[in-house]
């Protein structure tokens, strides 16, 4: 292994996610193990611009693996998107001898990492968001904890629905991604799952609720992803109107973003943190750590962002020009498989929902 760095930085950016602390801990410990110093950068790119940094040692990351949130704090930074903000961030790196950065967060965090890498500060991205909405990776840190928190909440709602013969429409976070809604819906036996990725037949749902009612079913959980943008409240009124089943609305909101990370989040965050430092030590830059199956791998960030754009139907003009035909085909195949897997799980969840 070629060691090229004396001091690196680590930051968390975007929405916090359980397991980010485990990743920070792994970064610090792996780096210190190779005699590389680590600067903690507080509040993401905002802190980098403002010079809000501090040298971390092993003690700073002890007793954090079990804590939710991020000890480095997080913030969204519009200033970082400006040339002036970017220059200030680079000045902070120069002033404090930060030669490379591990950036932990979502797709916005990766765009920032790419901008810094292009300007000579090598960055490695680690996917951290409860949403699991980064298409280039099967897994993002925080996803498992958020879903486990959510199923506990929804199980409680089902108890009270059953007692009162009610329906509960539950809106759950995920930004524009239905992964959390789909899996939590399946895991809590939801009668219907509504996600913005796939069409949903409202009339058919009413019929199914009425059939269930005739059979004596007393509880109905309807799981709606946040990406449906306010539809869940309207649906709550409609269900009561069309089926006569008393219906309540619950938005789980930020509660699913906190709490102690699950084993899966702690383990994956640790593996990803170690992998990110190893890449920097190998002299690599502008890469993002991804998980495919159970394997931790690395992709070029821009390639990963293009996969993400392709999956979300947001390819920019000229974006594919830098890739070979083979690359584009393999991206298309990857995205098609991902979408097909999502649809299969959705259909399976609905097949066993009644």
Minimum CB distance to ligand F6P smaller for 36 or for 150: 150
Q: How far is the CB of 130 from ligand F6P (least distance, A)?
A: 5
Q: Is 131 a catalytic residue?
A: yes
Among 22, 157, 173, 235, binds ligand F6P (CB under 6 A): 173
Sequence-distant (6+) residues with CB within 8 A of 8 are 27, 31, 36, 37, 38, 39, 98, 99, 100, 101, 102, 277, 280
Cα gap 278→27, rounded to integer Å: 9
For position 27 contacting ligand F6P by CB under 6 A, the verdict is no
Among 15, 47, 112, 128, binds ligand F6P (CB under 6 A): 15
Catalytic option among 107, 115, 131, 144:
131
Piece in contact with ligand F6P (CB under 6 A), picked from 24-32, 167-175, 183-191, 308-316? 167-175
For position 174 contacting ligand F6P by CB under 6 A, the verdict is yes
For position 226 contacting ligand F6P by CB under 6 A, the verdict is yes
Minimum CB distance to ligand F6P smaller for 16 or for 115: 16
For position 332 contacting ligand F6P by CB under 6 A, the verdict is no
β-bridge mates for residue 295, sequence order: 292
List the one residue out of 114, 122, 127, 71 whose CA is nearest residue 93: 122
Piece in contact with ligand F6P (CB under 6 A), picked from 155-163, 169-177, 260-268, 314-322? 169-177
Q: How far is the CB of 96 from ligand F6P (least distance, A)?
A: 28
With CB atoms as reference, the residue minimizing the distance to ligand F6P is 15
- CA Rg, the chain, in Å? 22
Are residues 243 and 210 in contact, defined by beta-carbon separation less than 8 angstroms? Answer: yes
Minimum CB distance to ligand F6P smaller for 92 or for 132: 132
Q: How far is the CB of 222 from ligand F6P (least distance, A)?
A: 19
For position 171 contacting ligand F6P by CB under 6 A, the verdict is no
For position 129 contacting ligand F6P by CB under 6 A, the verdict is yes
Minimum CB distance to ligand F6P smaller for 105 or for 273: 105
For position 37 contacting ligand F6P by CB under 6 A, the verdict is no
For position 208 contacting ligand F6P by CB under 6 A, the verdict is no
List binders of ligand F6P among 95-114 (CB under 6 A).
106
For position 257 contacting ligand F6P by CB under 6 A, the verdict is yes
For position 131 contacting ligand F6P by CB under 6 A, the verdict is yes
Piece in contact with ligand F6P (CB under 6 A), picked from 37-45, 126-134, 151-159, 274-282? 126-134
Residues interacting with ligand F6P, by CB under 6 A? 15, 106, 129-131, 173-175, 226, 257
Active site residues per annotation: 131
């Amino acid at each position: 292994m070629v060691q090229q760095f004396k001091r690196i930085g680590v930051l968390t950016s975007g929405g916090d996610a359980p397991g980010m602390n485990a990743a920070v801990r792994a970064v610090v410990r792996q780096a210190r193990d190779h005699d590389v110093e680590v600067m903690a950068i507080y509040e993401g790119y905002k802190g980098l611009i403002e010079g809000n940094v501090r040298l971390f040692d092993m003690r700073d990351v002890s007793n954090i693996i079990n804590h939710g949130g991020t000890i480095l704090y997080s913030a969204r930074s519009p200033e970082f998107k400006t040339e002036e903000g970017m220059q200030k961030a680079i000045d902070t790196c120069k002033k404090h001898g930060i030669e490379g950065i591990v950036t932990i967060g979502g797709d916005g965090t990766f765009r920032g990492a790419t901008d810094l890498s292009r300007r000579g500060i090598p960055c490695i991205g680690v996917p951290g968001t409860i949403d699991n909405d980064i298409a280039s990776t099967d897994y993002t840190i925080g996803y498992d904890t958020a879903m486990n928190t959510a199923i506990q909440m929804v199980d409680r709602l089902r108890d009270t629905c059953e007692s009162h013969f009610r329906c509960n429409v539950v809106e759950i976070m995920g930004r524009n991604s239905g992964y959390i809604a789909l899996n939590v819906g399946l895991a809590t036996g939801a009668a219907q799952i509504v996600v913005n990725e796939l069409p949903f037949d409202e009339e058919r749902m009413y019929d199914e609720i009425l059939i269930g009612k005739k059979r004596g079913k007393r509880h109905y959980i309807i799981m709606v992803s946040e990406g449906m943008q306010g539809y869940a409240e309207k649906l709550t009124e409609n269900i009561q109107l069309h089926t006569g089943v008393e219906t309540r609305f619950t938005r789980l909101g930020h509660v699913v973003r906190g709490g102690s990370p699950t084993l899966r989040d702690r383990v994956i965050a640790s593996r990803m943190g170690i992998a990110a430092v190893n890449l920097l030590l190998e002299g690599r830059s502008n890469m993002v750590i991804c998980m495919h199956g159970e394997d931790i791998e690395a992709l070029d960030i821009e390639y990963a962002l293009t996969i993400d754009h392709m999956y979300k139907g947001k390819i920019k003009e000229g974006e594919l020009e830098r890739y070979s035909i083979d690359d584009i085909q393999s991206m298309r195949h990857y995205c098609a498989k991902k979408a097909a897997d999502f649809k299969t799980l959705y259909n399976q969840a609905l097949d066993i929902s009644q």
